[in-house]
């Protein structure tokens, strides 16, 4: 997967198109990524104890990695790989610079 935890990404399609955020968690088996402030769902939670109140919780839901692009500077970039000195490094496909 070309997107890693801590990366800044932009949403390419869907209801949150154009929004940017940092990656909180990556799920490589399913190809999903959890991005803060993107794809927020509201969940109505029932009260747990006798005298407590129920509440509405806003929660980020994972987004498919194919709908995201890595941000470098202020532009979205395509990511490729290159092997430098025996290590696999992510590079910007257009410029060839390491990310």
Displacement of CA 9 from its chain's centroid (Å): 6
**pLDDT score for 25:** 96
Confidence at residue 40, expressed as pLDDT on a 0 to 100 scale: 95
**Would you say 12 and 69 are in contact if contact means Cβ atoms under 8 Å apart?**
yes
The domain spans of the chain are 8-92
Task: Give CA–CA dist 23/9, Å, rounded.
Answer: 7
The DSSP bridge pattern shows strands 79-84 and 75-77 to be unpaired
Q: What is the pLDDT of residue 52?
A: 83
pLDDT at position 19, please?
95
For domain 8-92, is the CATH number 2.30.30.30? Answer: yes
pLDDT at 28: 96
pLDDT along the chain (99 residues), means of 10: 94 94 96 95 90 90 96 92 94 91
pLDDT confidence of residue 65: 95
């Amino acid at each position: 997967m070309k997107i890693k935890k801590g990366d800044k990404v932009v949403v390419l399609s869907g209801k949150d198109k154009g929004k940017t955020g940092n990656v909180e968690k990556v799920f490589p088996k399913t190809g999903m990524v959890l991005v803060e402030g993107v794809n927020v769902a509201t969940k109505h939670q029932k009260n747990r104890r006798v005298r407590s109140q129920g509440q509405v919780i806003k929660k980020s839901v994972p987004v498919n990695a194919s709908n995201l692009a890595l941000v470098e500077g202020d532009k979205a970039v395509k990511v490729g790989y290159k092997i430098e000195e025996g290590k696999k490094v992510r590079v910007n496909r257009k410029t060839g610079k390491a990310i």
